[in-house]
């Protein structure tokens, strides 16, 4: 997954290797340069901070998951497809769990990586053939980001090679999120219908007020 023949790959590999052995705060950019067998000047041509290297690793994981993600069948529910894609992400991360735990414990997985997290979850949804466009698409991406973040911490403490705890937790989270999104989708639909009523020339018009003295019918 990490192409160590490239400068970026060597740097990412160096950081993850160090993080698997040390506390995140104890790793300096010079340490990373030494581990990658390059000068600090060359390292800084690629990355300025450890968080940037971690974000780059996220791109590599995205690519790995998208290469291996099973294609969703016509009969497969969206929740099941998302479950498979997210678990394939944890499969890809499994060899780097010690490094991920060091990063998490060291506060590296903070708001500075939010953009990277949202980008990754958008890719996961797209791999599951789930629409990420428009307001509802943005809600789906944000919702899955929350699900993934919560499941990530369960995964860090899951010692079962089969990741049973992680799968059970993810399933519960997705079911809960599915209900919330259904309510949000219904609310968005009502807002869209109301907005259509306000558009000039809309075919759907509010009923005209009844006359004060309706005519008598025979």
Residues 2-5: contacts with CB under 8 Å, at least 24 apart? 2/57, 2/60
On the question of pLDDT at 191 being above 70, the answer is no
pLDDT in tens, 119-149: 999 999 999 999 999 988 999 999 999 999 9
Whole-model pTM: value is 0.80
User: Across the chain, what does the average pLDDT equal?
Assistant: 85
Task: List alpha helices for 94-202, DSSP H.
Answer: 97-105, 114-127, 134-156, 164-198
pLDDT in tens, 68-102: 888 888 899 999 999 999 999 999 999 999 999 99
SS3 213: coil
Selection from 50, 16, 56, 13 nearest residue 30 by Cα: 50
pLDDT for residue 216: 34
Using an 8 Å Cβ cutoff, are 61 and 93 in contact? yes
Q: What is the phi/psi pair of residue 116, to 5°? A: -65, -40
**Mean pLDDT across 176-186:** 65
Of 152 and 68, the structure prediction assigns the larger pLDDT to: 152
SS3 69: coil
- Cα 40 from Cα 104, distance rounded (Å): 25
Using an 8 Å Cβ cutoff, are 29 and 44 in contact? yes
Lowest mean pLDDT among 2-6, 10-14, 37-41, 69-73: 69-73
Token pair in block for residue 47: 């990355």
Using an 8 Å Cβ cutoff, are 52 and 8 in contact? no
On the question of pLDDT at 9 being above 90, the answer is yes
């Amino acid at each position: 997954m990490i192409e160590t023949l490239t400068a970026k790959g060597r740097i990412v590999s160096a950081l993850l290797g160090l993080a698997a052995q040390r506390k995140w705060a104890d790793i300096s950019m010079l340490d990373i340069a030494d581990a990658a067998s390059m000068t600090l000047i060359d390292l800084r041509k690629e990355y300025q901070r450890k968080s940037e290297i971690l974000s780059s690793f996220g791109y590599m994981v995205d690519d790995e998951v998208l290469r291996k993600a099973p294609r969703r069948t016509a009969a497969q529910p969206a929740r099941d497809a998302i479950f498979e894609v997210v678990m394939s992400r944890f499969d890809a991360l499994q060899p780097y769990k010690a490094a991920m735990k060091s990063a998490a414990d060291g506060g590296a997985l903070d708001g500075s990586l939010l953009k990277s997290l949202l980008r990754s979850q958008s890719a996961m949804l797209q791999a599951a053939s789930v629409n990420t466009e428009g307001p509802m698409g943005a809600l789906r991406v944000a919702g899955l980001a929350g699900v993934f973040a919560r499941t990530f911490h369960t995964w860090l403490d899951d010692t079962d090679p089969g990741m049973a705890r992680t799968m059970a937790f993810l399933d519960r989270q997705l079911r809960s999120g599915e209900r919330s999104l259904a309510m949000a989708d219904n609310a968005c639909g009502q807002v869209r219908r109301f907005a259509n009523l306000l558009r000039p020339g809309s075919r759907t018009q509010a009923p005209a007020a009844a006359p004060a003295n309706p005519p008598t019918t025979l």
